[in-house]
Amino acid sequence: MAEERSPGGLPPALERHVPVRTTLRGRARVGRLMARALLPPVRPVQSHGAEHVPCRGPVILAANHIGFLDGIAIHGTAGRAVSFLVYDKVVEGFTGHLLRAGGAIALPQDATAARALGRSVGVLRAGGAVGIFPEGARGRGRFELTFPGVAWLAQVTGAPVVPVALLGTRLTGQLAGDLPERGAKVVVEYGRPLRLARPGGPVRPVREEIMSELVPALVDHVVAASERHGIPLPEDIPPDLLPA
């Protein structure tokens, strides 16, 4: 028997986590203001292709993840407010308070992500932007390991996906929380939106089909941007994130 789904395309167990109204878009606007104020004195960032980010309507920004500055760099250059999915351990302490105030969505690192996914769907249904790092943790930024949450969000909401390349936010040998050296070239490059087809059929095969189209597009965008700007991606996973 086919799984019962709501008119919005979600199983009832997930639909109940989608807020009728969301305050996250307002918080994300605060986050954008904070990022735009912080970036110039902390580390200037060059932005390319921001015109590819739709000015309005739902959109998913899918970025590679290499350094601490990544989310802030997108917040300050995307041209609109973005609600970022971030691991729950990141939204702790003073930094976590700022992230939550700026519209971050805490994502548990286990199987209890229903609330975070529901809140993300709520932002997209309200016409907002959701930022996601499909690799999960900071690493080499080559999408060697990519989680399917981005495909799931595109599948259930129909939102286009904008590939984002982050370059220079961490160099080989630097720790996960390090900033680039002063004067280093840091670039954010946005690609053309991907409007992924949502053919009918079982949920998992459709999601796998979307991933098979999406991941190569993300890889190609990052590799091309790296070559275009002459900024190599890190050769390592941050040493402090490696198992002891």
Q: Which tens digit of pLDDT belongs to each residue from 40-77? A: 767 889 999 999 999 999 999 999 999 989 998 999 99
Predicted pLDDT of residue 200 = 65
24 contacts 17 by C-beta, under 8 angstroms: no
| Mean pLDDT, residues 23-36 | 81
How many other CB atoms are found less than 10 A from the CB of residue 42? 15
Q: Which of 14-18, 23-27, 97-101, 125-129 has the lowest mean pLDDT?
A: 97-101
Provide the token pair at 129.
């932007």
Predicted pLDDT of residue 196 = 87
Kindly provide the residue ranges of all beta strands, DSSP E only, lying in 116-167, ordered along the sequence. 129-132, 161-167
Which residues have CB under 8 Å from 70's CB, separation 6+? 63, 133, 138, 166, 169
Reported confidence tier of residue 4, pLDDT bands at 50, 70, 90: very low
* Size of the chain, expressed as the number of residues it contains: 244
- C-alpha 164, offset from chain centre: 8
Q: What percent of the chain has pLDDT over 70?
A: 87
In this prediction the pTM is 0.89
Q: What does DSSP assign to residue 165?
A: E
Per-residue pLDDT tens for 153-200?
Answer: 999 899 999 999 999 999 999 999 898 888 889 999 999 999 986 766
Predicted pLDDT of residue 94 = 57
Predicted pLDDT of residue 243 = 81
Reported confidence tier of residue 5, pLDDT bands at 50, 70, 90: low
Q: Which of 5-14, 33-42, 123-132 has the lowest mean pLDDT?
A: 5-14
Sign of torsion over alpha carbons 72, 179, 146, 4: negative
Angle in degrees, CA 151, 156, 158, rounded to 5 = 85
How far apart CA 152 and CA 150 sit, in angstroms, is: 5
